[in-house]
Structure 1
Amino acid sequence: MRELQYDAVKGGAILLVVFGHVWLGLADAGLIGSARLAQTVEHAIYLFHMPVFFFVSGLFFAPKQGPLAFLRGKALTLLWPLLLWSWVEGALLAVSGQGADRGIVGLMDVLSYPVPVKSVFWFLWVLFVLQVASYAVMRLAGRWHPAVLLVAGLAAIAVFVLGVDAGAAVIIVENAPYFLAGVLLALLRNELVRPDPLPFVVGLAIFLLAEVVHLRDGAGAGWFQLSALLATLGFVSTMGRTANTVVGRALAWLGKRTMAIYLMHIILTAGTRVMLLKLGYTGLGLHAVAGTIMGVAVPLAVDAVVQRLRLGRLAGFGQRA
């Protein structure tokens, strides 16, 4: 059974993911007049929007399958979408000529595009690694696995607090605390989104406090993961309690379709920006609204067709009942 509170959380977060990429594209194109405004909005959104997805994934991570069935399931739900949509993105870059400066011009360039992981697809790879590692700990450590996962999460935070160079694993280490926090708090999943007024206010206050600290100290602060974790908890607590409102139900509907939006939005937001610029439109408001709408609406339309044809798994979106 789905939990609408967390669908609402994901719906709110995916809107911020799409808008965040629209905003970054506009900043790179020089369409945001104020550098301070561009940076403030970017930092405010990027503090927590992807940690939310890692945290919620952790909350619902309770694998029961054997090792082979588990790996097969994760390969189909995470690695297959990564490969398929990396190939789609690579092909579009090659055909449009936009990939020439990255050396993407022929078939072999497209086929090799997924390695190393690029674009938004890093999330799928990192989530795959974290889930496989957590599964191994749960199987090997038995009833001691919460303690092992807690130590692993604290160690990941310590890497940045102490300024240790994590090398190529930095993106995994950076996001590990959010996923592991979700796993460790899974038993409190219902408590985090109980529809009571006081927890709603507390959650909102925690979120705002984390944002203020982050905007003051910047992304370079060693404790940024703690700020991100607090912002994530505050966002989850606040958005989850909107599930019984009109807005919350709309977000929950959107939250059930986040994979299609995530996989496709970067192509559409960039394409919308390029098209508007070619037509001579440079207004910040128009670009922000049009890019966000296209990044959400087109994937929803594609998903509707794919689901109706029962091709959700093949498309990498997952098949809904």
Structure 2
Amino acid sequence: MKRNSFLDCVRGLGMVLVVFGHAQRGLHDGNLFPASYPFEQIDFTLYTFHMPLFFLLAGLHVWPSVEKGSRRFLRSKFLTIVVPYFVWSIIQGGVQILMAGSTNHPLSLSDWPMLFYRPIGQFWFLYALMIWQLIALCYGRFRPALIVVAVTAFLLGSAIPESFFATAMKMGIFFAAGTLVGPELEARIERFAHAGFPVSCTLAFLLSTYMVMGVAPFYSFEAIPAAIFGIALTLIVCYWLNRSWAATPLAICGRRSMPIYVLHIMAVSGMRIVLLKAGIRNPYFMLPVCTIAGVLLPLGVSPILTKVGDAISAVPALVHRRQTAK
């Protein structure tokens, strides 16, 4: 099947935003920004929509995947979600333990057993995504029920204290929205990518974000309009970027989004530590450098990770052939 370059561009831009957000948070947690830097405003605006965007994208092809059979579906999700979650959580956790004196969020060996119910760092996304993939599989024959479950989960998640599970429950509505949109996303966006809609969408996004900022969390009922307009604006921007010179670099980032996601924290943190040890403390220089490092360094090792992933994926088939031969 031919890859959808538009979706690759969306994933690529979304991933760049994720890396930027974590690079900014790292500098903020290290007390490197001056008081005049609008960290809270930028951080809140970004987080209203960039992670919901990835859950929507994850839902686009769920039903076609479920239709291929539960065994094939589970095998695919195990290899693409569960294995990266545990492998890279342990690797990143190990690095954080070794670098405990230099990182903003040190870990200890006693934290590793909690991976089964409390993800570390950015890996909460993979954990939450697997939850909703399993829920979708359970309701494959009763697809409208997924919407009911997602809405109910959002309401329950909003009623309990902020935690990983509360966030995971709230992401379901965006995942379910992706299943409703389906693979025809680009065709749907094309209808709104012209005339004055992008301008109206931008104004609506800024207004809805401003109205909820300081009033409610970015993953809240009040912030849903900001998430919707932010996602729509990102999709429209990518519709046009996919027809420009930016399509190629963004599509590369989109195709390699998993390596970037699992490695970018280590790349960003490592670059920040290197710059600090070199005596560079200017956050306005460090922010773009750390962001670029968080994208390019994972891209540099992604071919190796792809080969390793392909080898792991081939193991079950190889075992099955040997058992059949016997």
Gaps of 5+ in 2: 314-326
Give the Cα–Cα distance (whole angstroms) in 2 for the partners of residues 255 and 235 of structure 1: 14
Give the Cα–Cα distance (whole angstroms) in 1 for the partners of residues 43 and 105 of structure 2: 26
In the TM superposition, residue 172 of structure 1 has moved relative to its aligned partner by 1.7
| Structure 2 partner of 1:287 | 286
Gaps of 5+ in 1: 317-321
| Structure 2 partner of 1:90 | 93
In the alignment of these two chains, the number of paired residues is: 303
Q: CA RMSD in A?
A: 2.6
- Aligned partner letter, 1:4: S
Matches within 5 A, 1:106-255: 109=110, 112=113, 114-115=115-116, 116-139=118-141, 141=142, 145-146=143-144, 148-159=145-156, 164-165=159-160, 169-186=165-182, 188-194=184-190, 197-198=193-194, 201-203=196-198, 205-218=200-213, 219-220=216-217, 222-255=221-254
Contact 1:178–1:229 (8 Å) recurs in 2: no
| Structure 1 partner of 2:6 | 5
Matches within 5 A, 1:8-27: 8-27=9-28
Give the Cα–Cα distance (whole angstroms) in 1 for the partners of residues 190 and 248 of structure 2: 16
| Structure 2 partner of 1:319 | none
Alpha carbons of 1:79 and 1:171: their partners in 2 closer, same or farther (altered >3 Å)? same
In the TM superposition, residue 204 of structure 1 has moved relative to its aligned partner by 5.1
* SS of the residue 2:115 aligns to: coil
Give the Cα–Cα distance (whole angstroms) in 2 for the partners of residues 273 and 215 of structure 1: 31
Give the Cα–Cα distance (whole angstroms) in 2 for the partners of residues 96 and 282 of structure 1: 19
Give the Cα–Cα distance (whole angstroms) in 1 for the partners of residues 172 and 125 of structure 2: 12
User: Which one of 52, 68, 77 corresponds to residue 74 of structure 1?
Assistant: 77
TM-score (norm 1): 0.85
User: Which one of 287, 308, 312 corresponds to residue 311 of structure 1?
Assistant: 308
* SS of the residue 2:139 aligns to: helix
Contact 1:5–1:193 (8 Å) recurs in 2: no
Give the Cα–Cα distance (whole angstroms) in 2 for the partners of residues 137 and 76 of structure 1: 22
* SS of the residue 1:281 aligns to: coil
Contact 1:208–1:231 (8 Å) recurs in 2: no
* SS of the residue 1:97 aligns to: coil
Contact 2:193–2:236 (8 Å) recurs in 1: no
Alpha carbons of 1:46 and 1:196: their partners in 2 closer, same or farther (altered >3 Å)? closer
* SS of the residue 2:194 aligns to: helix
In the TM superposition, residue 238 of structure 1 has moved relative to its aligned partner by 2.5
TM-score (norm 2): 0.84
Question: Percent of aligned pairs with the same residue?
Answer: 25
- Aligned partner letter, 1:86: S
* SS of the residue 1:55 aligns to: helix
In the TM superposition, residue 195 of structure 1 has moved relative to its aligned partner by 7.8
- Aligned partner letter, 2:72: A
* SS of the residue 1:245 aligns to: coil
In the TM superposition, residue 131 of structure 1 has moved relative to its aligned partner by 1.0
Give the Cα–Cα distance (whole angstroms) in 1 for the partners of residues 148 and 197 of structure 2: 27
* SS of the residue 2:246 aligns to: helix
| Structure 2 partner of 1:104 | 108
- Aligned partner letter, 2:268: T
